[in-house]
Chain A
Amino acid sequence: MTEITSNLERKLARGEFVLTAEVCPPKGTDCSDFLKWSRTLAGVIDAINVTDNQGANMRISPLAASLILHREGVEPLFQITCRDRNRLALQSDLLGAAALGIRNVLALTGDHISFGDHREGKAVFDLDSVQLLESMKVLESGFDLSGKKLAGTPSFFVGAAAAPEAEPFELTLFKLRKKAAAGAKFFQTQAVFRPEKMARFADAVAPSGVKIIAGVLLLKSAGMARYINKNIPGLTVPDEIVAELEQAANPAETGVEIACRLANALKPYSDGIHIMAMGREEVIPEIAQALK
């Protein structure tokens, strides 16, 4: 049997620089905007990250949204978190993804439920991200976590998250190593604002051979940057960038400039860039262009 591969996987394997972007699936059943942006971006982006109840805000299932893209010929990167599923649900969604032809999977722990719009719910966290990665390896060996044989074996192109700017770095490093050992083929990082921290991260990851897709977040105002600093786990916009936005005549434009500048600064330390446009998908092609 020939191995099915994804475009993202093939390009990374060939050493080509990749671009991914996040498009948030809708809260509701109307996927027209989601599809419109995904189609528009398909020309410049190698895979679209389909977020999983991002920030613990309830939205359409990322598996369903990934399938919608896949059917359109747009390559999805299916994000799956441990927050809302126990080990049965994780495995069954992964088998579902594989059966539907969705190969790229980003295995995540998930933001805490207290950040989102269903704070009163029960968070699951039956597995953590390392255990989820290991479970995917088990599934790929033709068995489930209970040791039962699968009828049909899935195969994934598996990525994991990383937070290159988080301190102390040493404390994050041992978990990254566990993720690499558990089969992560690429790290898609949290937004990075300080290229020197990316350099440190790339050095540390290099021996594992895991590819790095560096996160770039599009800011549109100083207010948004402050909001992020206050409310988004693991993200800190440095003061000088907040100041730059504050003093800008047209902060939205300056935000794009900053994103382009960061993307270029991160390029030497990475195998690709991941753009988080936060609802401003229309400028993604501009950032992609700046990277050429």
Chain B
Amino acid sequence: MIISQQKPFEEILSALGDSRSVFIVGCAKCATVCKSGGEEEVWQMQEALTSSGREVTGSIIIDEACHMLRVGRDLRSKQQMVDDADALLVMACGAGIQSVSAAIPKKTVAALDSMFLGNIKRFGHFEQKCSLCGDCILNESAGICPVTACSKGLLNGPCGGMDEGRCETDPDAECAWALIFARMKESGDTLNLVKSSPPKNYTKIPKPGKLKLSK
């Protein structure tokens, strides 16, 4: 899921600028699990905005804010409240925010910073395991992604800063290559310790990414 965090309230206020009345959009999926844009957070945002002198015309929690058709449809169901607002404040990931800005030609303000595609380790604890590189090498790296788990994304072994199996950028974190190495030894699948991995192919993810499934 997409991990997101609320921006500081001051920053949100300054981005709202002169907009006195606000319609709030949350998301029922990722932003709810991250506690950054679910029902509770939308409600708290409404309270905070009201007490700082803004009017909240209404709010909605969209089932998946990244679903553009659904966002358009759901916002139409609240047409009046949306029309009454000077701005829409969106408490969803960057994709969700842009579903809203694409659907409504009105000032759209981002309330969250989108961070990464995360695994849920336990409640409220997220970890990035994949950076969506488009050219997956997990089959060659014992199922642990060095592109993501290594701070430098190194594909051929640990850097000179690794010591005691720890990462140079964070002594509390294990070096990705210590993990990969251990797993390769365990499984006996050690080809990649001998054969070097070639540079990654970035043409596999055009920017912006696009995919159309053929029927």
Among A83, A126, A166, the most chain B Cβ lie within 10 Å of the Cβ of A166
- Contacting residues, chain A, for B193 (C-beta < 8 A): 174
Stretch at the interface among A31-39, A72-80, A107-115, A148-156: A107-115
Q: Is A112 a contact of B199 with CB atoms below 8 Å?
A: no
Task: Give how many A residues have a beta carbon under 8 Å from the other chain's beta carbons.
Answer: 38
- Known contacts A112-B152, A233-B168, A234-B168; A175 and B199 CB within 8 A of each other: no
Q: B65 to chain A: closest CB distance in Å?
A: 27
Q: How far is A182 from B156 in the complex, measured between Cα atoms in Å? A: 12
- Contacting residues, chain A, for B199 (C-beta < 8 A): 87, 126-127, 131, 145
- Contacting residues, chain A, for B196 (C-beta < 8 A): 130-131, 134, 178, 181-182
Q: How far is A165 from B159 in the complex, measured between Cα atoms in Å? A: 13
- Contacting residues, chain A, for B154 (C-beta < 8 A): 109, 125, 128
- Answer yes or no: B143 CB below 8 A from chain A CBs: no
- Answer yes or no: B198 CB below 8 A from chain A CBs: yes
Q: B183 to chain A: closest CB distance in Å?
A: 12
Among A131, A172, A177, point to the contact of B155 (Cβ < 8 A). Answer: A131
- Answer yes or no: A264 CB below 8 A from chain B CBs: no
- Known contacts A125-B154, A182-B196; A163 and B165 CB within 8 A of each other: no
12 A–B contacts from the bound complex (CB under 8 Å): A125-B152, A130-B157, A145-B199, A165-B163, A166-B162, A170-B181, A172-B162, A174-B194, A175-B158, A181-B196, A190-B160, A233-B160
**Which A positions have Cβ atoms within 8 angstroms of B?**
83, 87, 108-112, 114, 123, 125-131, 134, 145, 161-163, 165-168, 170-172, 174-175, 177-178, 181-182, 190, 233-234, 236
